[in-house]
Amino acid sequence: MRIPYTISRNAMQAQQNKMNTIAHNIANVNTIGFKESTVQFTELVHNAATEQDVRLSPDANQASNGVGIRIGEAKQTHSQGSLVESSDPFHLSVGGAGFFGVRNDDNELMLTRDGAFHLNEQNQLVNDRGDYLDMTAFIPVEQWQKDQLAVDKTGEVTMVMNGQSVLVGQIPLYMPTDSGALTPAGGNMYRLAEGANLLNSAENPESFGQLLSGYTEGSNVDLAQSFTDMIMTQRAYAMNAKVVQSIDEIYSLINQFN
């Protein structure tokens, strides 16, 4: 394929992938704990230009032909989302660094910022998917009384018993030592890379934020910025499509003289 076509094709593919990412962010603007993704472009390898390809100036130094760009790996921005007040004391959010740990059907530890938990019929704290919140229960959850429970900023779960506040559980926060060790697993969940080091708030409280009871963390998507990015991406795609059209017209003219 001719290089001009290749450059525009690569650019159109990159802009389309960026548009898909922006659309995904906008679709999740109201999703609890959602973290927006950003994309970056990288330049493809250059091909060295020789006298056989083009007439070069005597002053030309290491002349080359670029073949366009490609989209790099999408990265998620883990900035704090806005806090949304809730009447449920088990709707939790993290003010600062840290993730909740939940256990899926395979008992695999997954990390999330989605703190919309509730007590199920077995008196266990679960999310809307039915995944269990990873925590320590000092008193069997079957004995917990929902109306008497409270969660403080350190993750301690207390219950009023005989007029006294008793510690019945502890909710830890988790965080990998390397943020690159987190892989999106869908459903606002992150999977930890094999062999990655994981910190917890029980052993390293100074490294974590505080738990806020009665609040959930909203999406960190900036809707206005996302729409601005969408318009710019659409224009960039349209410009590259116009280039392809112009190249096609030029080659058509050239072929008429052959």
d(CA 87, CA 98) in angstroms, rounded, equals 23
- 27 plus 91 within the same structural domain: no
The overall pTM is greater than 0.85: no
Length of the chain: 258
| Short-list 251, 234, 243, CA closest to 19 | 234
* Structural domain span for residue 48: 3-77+221-256
- 204 plus 88 within the same structural domain: yes
pLDDT of 1 reads 47
CB contact at 8 A, 93 and 212: yes
pLDDT of 9 reads 80
Please tell me the total count of domains within the chain.
Answer: 2
- 67 plus 88 within the same structural domain: no
- 62 plus 152 within the same structural domain: no
d(CA 243, CA 166) in angstroms, rounded, equals 71
CB atoms within 10 A of CB 47: 12
- 71 plus 95 within the same structural domain: no
pLDDT of 163 reads 86
DSSP string over 58-70: TT--S-EE---EE
List average pLDDT for each run of 10 residues in the chain, which is 258 residues long: 71 89 94 90 63 58 61 80 90 94 92 93 90 94 89 93 91 90 88 89 91 94 95 92 84 77
